[in-house]
Each structure stands twice: as C-alpha cells, then as structure tokens.
C-alpha cells in the first residue's frame, strides 16, 4: 500500500515501505531529505526532530504509517532554498553551530518553543531543548542563539 503524506507543503506518494519503518527512514532514504539526522534511533538525542501536524516529534519514533495523510515539516521546509530563517540565522551568528550534526534538531525544537512562547526565560529554554543533545558547543552558544532569535522575532512583531 502506498504511503501518502505531505512534507514541507508537498504531497508525496511512496510506492512501498516496510511496515515497521520509521518516518525518519522515509524522510531520509526515500524522499532524499537528510535534514533530520539519523543518530540514536531511540528518541534520546533529538537529532531527527521534525514537526508532525505542528507537533514536535522525534521522527525515529514515529511509525511511517502513522504519518499517512498527515503533514510533516522538516528543517528543509523552514525557509526557501538558499535562504535561512530567523532561528537558523541566529544559530549561525552566535556560534551555536560547530559540527552541525545536532543543529537541525535544535532548530526544530527552537522553532517549536518560540511559536508556543515567544519570549522564554532561561529555565523554559533549557526545558524545551532538553531532548536535544549537542557534543560540541557546551550549549551556551545555543542558548545565546535562542535568546537572539526570540529578541529578533519579538522586534519583528
């Protein structure tokens, strides 16, 4: 049976999938969208975070079939090709990106946080990003990036 889902606004039909396959695998291996990273495959690292019907999830823990007829947004869908969004720009400017592997997951978690809470305090930021691991930055620059993105989005109204 075909898997039909919308990813970044575009409807995709995947001819055949293994019934135990994760959404992450479909995104990366069948749709050629490598933004969601494959790391722990157990929901521990947050690197595969995407929005599923506007809810932040680990795509490795979503059965692909559960995304049937649903809408997914990955990091690739946040800005037009060759452009970046406010959150992405803030990560670049503050040095929140080192090796970059965890970055898409952090970007998605930050997007989710700032949609729910445009001016979060530090405790709220830490709680919102608790499901994303970074082994390079020590997190301080990432916190800077979230604060900067929050300030800029606030200024834009």
Partner 1 sequence: MQATLQPRDLADALAARAAHPGALPMAGGTDLMVELNFDRRRPERILDLTRVAELAGWDREGDELVIGAGVTHARLVTDMRGLAPGLGIAARTVGSPQIRNRGTIGGNIATSSPAGDALPPLVASGARIEMASASGARSVPLSEFLTGPKRNVMAPDELITAVRVPVAQGPQQFAKVGPRNAMVIAVCSLSVHLDAVEQTVRTAIGSAAPTIVRATEAEEFIEGVLEERGAWERPGPLPASALTRFGELVAAAARPIDDVRGSAGYRRHALAVLGRRTLSWCWQEHRA
User: With contact defined as beta carbons under 8 Å apart, do 4 and 66 qualify?
Assistant: no
CB contact at 8 A, 92 and 85 = no
Nearer to partner 1, 48 or 86 (CB): 48
Q: Which residues contact 42 (CB under 8 A, 6 or more apart)?
A: 60, 61
Restricted to residues 31-60, the positions that interact with partner 1 (CB under 8 A) are 41-44, 46, 49, 55-58, 60
Instruction: Return the number of the residue (57 or 145) whose C-beta is nearest partner 1.
Output: 57
Smallest gap, in angstroms, from Cβ of residue 54 to partner 1?
10
Backbone angles phi, psi at 7, to 5 degrees: -125, 125
Contacts with partner 1, 92-121, as mask; x by CB under 8 A: -----------------x--x---------
Spatial strand order of the sheet with 49-52 comes to 10-14, 3-7, 71-73, 49-52, 55-58
Kindly state whether residue 131 participates in binding partner 1, applying the rule CB under 8 A. yes
Please, which residue, 86 or 113, has the CB nearer to partner 1? 113
Residue 28, both tokens: 């990366």
Q: How far is the CB of 46 from partner 1 (least distance, A)?
A: 6
Render the burial of 64-93: b for 16+ CB within 10 Å, e for the rest: beebeeebbbbbbbbeeeeeebbbbbbbee
Residue 136 in the binding site for partner 1 (CB under 8 A): no
Of 128 and 142, nearer to partner 1 (C-beta) is: 128
Please say which residue, 21 or 95, places its beta carbon nearer to partner 1: 21
Interface ranges with partner 1 (CB under 8 A): 1, 18-20, 22, 41-44, 46, 49, 55-58, 60-63, 65-66, 68, 109, 112, 127-128, 130-132
């Amino acid at each position: 049976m075909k898997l039909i889902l919308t990813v970044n606004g575009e409807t995709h039909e995947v001819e055949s999938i293994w019934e135990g396959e994760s959404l992450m695998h479909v995104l990366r291996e069948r749709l050629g969208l490598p933004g969601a990273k494959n790391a722990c495959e157990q929901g521990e690292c947050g690197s595969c975070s995407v929005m599923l019907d506007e809810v932040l999830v680990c795509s490795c823990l979503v059965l692909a079939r559960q995304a049937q007829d649903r809408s997914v947004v990955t990091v690739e869908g946040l800005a037009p090709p060759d452009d970046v969004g406010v959150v992405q720009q803030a990560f670049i400017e503050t040095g929140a990106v080192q090796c970059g592997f965890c970055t898409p997951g952090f970007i998605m978690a930050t997007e989710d946080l700032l949609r729910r809470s445009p001016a979060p305090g530090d405790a709220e930021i830490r709680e919102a990003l608790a499901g994303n691991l970074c082994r390079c930055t020590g997190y301080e620059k990432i916190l800077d990036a979230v604060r900067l993105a929050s300030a800029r989005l606030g200024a834009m109204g």
